[in-house]
Amino acid sequence: MSSGGFWYMGGYARYVWPCIGFACVVLAWNLWSARRYLAAAKIRAARAIAMAASEAR
Amino acid sequence: MWTWFYKLASPPYVYGVAAALMPWLLGLAAVTIGYGLIAGLGFAPPDYQQGDAFRIIYVHVPSAWMSEFVYTTMAVAGAIALIWRIKVAHAVAAASAPIGASLTLLALVTGSMWGKPMWGTYWAWDPRLTSELILLFVYVGVMSLRSAFEDPARGDRAAALLAVVGAVNVPIIHYSVVWWNSLHQGATVAKLGKPSIAGSMLWPLLSMFVGFMLFYGAVLCLRLQGEVLNRERQSAWVREAIKS
């Protein structure tokens, strides 16, 4: 397949490429939101530990 | 022999395993999805009826398969949590829900984009499409129900129960093209006997499917660590885990 033909997708480019783009967005969102969720959970856990330590004092 | 199985109920063990597995799963997912996309979009021949529009299947079919697989995982985890009261199983169900919902949305959107050039419409109230849409609503329902209770333990139990009841939709989605007259095409790959798809089109598709499975595993590991930390934040082992 030539480079032009690859992007043209036999006339279906306006259907194929948005699907690939949306799939990339969904996968990237999953990774980003999961990392963010874990980071927030670590912060909450660290706060809970710090609070427990200050109460113990 | 069953020691490994019992260990899966231990939050610190699961947290450690998830942290160790995540980079490997993500790396392998990147390789398999990369290969699937390059081979599927650049090297597989056009379909003799659908032309190049068929290439949408390389993201549509894996996401549709995964929407059912992730739901089944969530429902099984919910059932285990309800029967044996294993907290980690609730965490697996909670971590799976947003991943499954997003993959269901991807399957619906890409299916709709494929439907326009092939069927002449973005949407039809076809049994396969409608049951897949219901799956998305059930995912959203499970997530909403979990967060609707002040007591997280009650939210977990209610969400697990809804996930188990909603599992009835999974075989309906799968067999809808067999049970009813459907615009949607029947099974092409997962059918008894020889798949009715050429090898040069099939291998990239299988690679994408494996890639999506590995990706689900990687994201599940990340979310699971977060879920376990949120549920165990008062435990002594969390102190050590946070320090490291």
* pLDDT at position B2 over 80: no
Of B171, B184, B56, B174, which Cα lies nearest the Cα of B124?
B184
pLDDT for the residue numbered B198? 82
- A54 and B CB contact within 8 Å: no
Q: Decide if pLDDT at B192 tops 60.
A: no
Instruction: For chain B, give the percent of residues with pLDDT over 70.
Output: 95
pLDDT at B175: 87
Highest-confidence segment of A41-55, B47-61, B64-78, B174-188: B64-78
Crossing angle of helices B11-38/A13-56, nearest 10°?
160
Q: Which residues of B touch A3 (CB under 8 A)?
A: none
Dihedral sign from CA coordinates of B104, B109, B112, B117: negative
In this prediction the ipTM stands at 0.92
SS3 B192: coil
pLDDT at A50 (0 to 100): 86
Q: CA-CA distance, B111 to B176, in Å (whole number)?
A: 16
- pLDDT category at B235 given cuts 50, 70, 90 is confident
Residue with tokens 């799963």: B25
Q: What CATH number belongs to B12-243?
A: 1.20.120
- Residue numbers in B near A28 (CB within 8 A): none
- The partner residues of B51 in beta bridges, in order of sequence, read B47
pLDDT tops 70 at residue B195:
no
pLDDT digits (tens, 9 = 90+) for B126-165: 889 999 999 999 999 999 999 999 999 999 999 999 999 9
Lowest-confidence pick of A18-22, B27-31, B180-184: B180-184
Q: Rounded to whole angstroms, what are the CA distances from B10 to B97, B140, B219?
A: 21, 28, 20
Which pLDDT score is estimated for A23? 98
Taking only the tens place, the pLDDT of each residue in B93-123 is 999 999 999 999 999 999 999 999 998 999 9
Confidence band (pLDDT; 50, 70, 90) for B191? low
What was the pLDDT predicted at B189? Answer: 61
Domain boundaries, chain A: 16-56
d(CA B17, CA B82): 23
Of A11, A35, A46, the CB nearest to B222: A35
Question: Positive or negative CA dihedral for A17, A20, A26, A32?
Answer: negative
Q: What is the pLDDT of residues B213-224, one digit of tens each?
A: 999 999 999 999
Neighbouring C-alpha atoms within 13 Å toward the C-beta of B128: 22
Chain B touched by A32 (CB under 8 Å): no
Q: Could you tell me which chain A residue has the CA closest to the CA of B116?
A: A15
For chain B, give the mean pLDDT.
Answer: 91
Contact B109 A22 (CB under 8 A): yes
